[in-house]
């Protein structure tokens, strides 16, 4: 089973700042099969990034994904008020298709 570790657990930032979220896989994730989701309280998750780099439909370009080996990064270039939420990574290259524990981005 591929274990995903996200860091930090909580990120305290102000609107307009840059957010960098990390997701590390315990082993290689095939063909960059890594997605990022955003979840706000009481809502279903929303797909942000798939294939490690590709933005989902309707996602603003302030969200970007990158990878280096087993390390994946979600970057929010300038935080908007609606971006404060919990972010999860998920690998879908190998069953079980595991999620990371999440990073909460909160207003400082």
Partner 1 sequence: EVQLLESGGGLVQPGGSLRLSCAASGFTFSDYAMTWVRQAPGKGLEWVSSLTGSGDTTYYAGSVKGRFTISRDNSKNTLSLQMNSLSADDTAVYYCAKAKQWLPGNHDYWGQGALVTVS
Query: Interface with partner 1 by CB under 8 A: which residues?
Result: 1, 33, 35, 37, 39, 44-47, 50-51, 56-57, 86, 88, 90, 92, 95-102
Report in angstroms how near the CB of residue 98 gets to partner 1 at its nearest.
6
Residue 60 φ/ψ, nearest 5 degrees: -65, 155
**At closest approach, how far in Å is the CB of 21 from partner 1?**
14
Question: Which residue, 1 or 15, is less far from partner 1 as judged by CB?
Answer: 1
Residue with smaller CB distance to partner 1, 75 or 101:
101
Q: What's the CA gap between 25 and 65, in Å, rounded?
A: 15
Q: Cβ contacts of residue 70 below 8 Å, gap of 6+?
A: 24, 25, 26, 27, 28, 29
Task: Considering the complex, state which of residue 64 and residue 98 has its C-beta at the smaller distance from partner 1.
Answer: 98
Q: Which is nearer to partner 1, 50 or 84 (CB)?
A: 50
CB of 16 to partner 1, least distance (A): 28
Beta bridge partners of 72: 23, 67
**Among 94, 102, 86, 103, which residue's Cα sits nearest to residue 34?**
94
């Amino acid at each position: 089973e591929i274990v995903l570790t996200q860091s930090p657990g909580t990120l305290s930032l102000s609107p307009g700042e840059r957010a960098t979220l990390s997701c590390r896989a315990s082993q290689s994730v095939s063909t960059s099969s890594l997605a990022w989701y955003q979840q706000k309280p009481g809502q279903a998750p929303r797909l942000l990034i798939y294939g490690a780099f590709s933005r989902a439909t309707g996602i603003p370009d302030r969200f970007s994904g990158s990878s280096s080996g087993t390390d994946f990064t979600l970057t929010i270039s300038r935080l908007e008020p609606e971006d404060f939420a919990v972010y999860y990574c998920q690998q879908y290259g190998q069953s079980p298709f595991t999620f990371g524990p999440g990073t909460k981005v909160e207003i400082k």
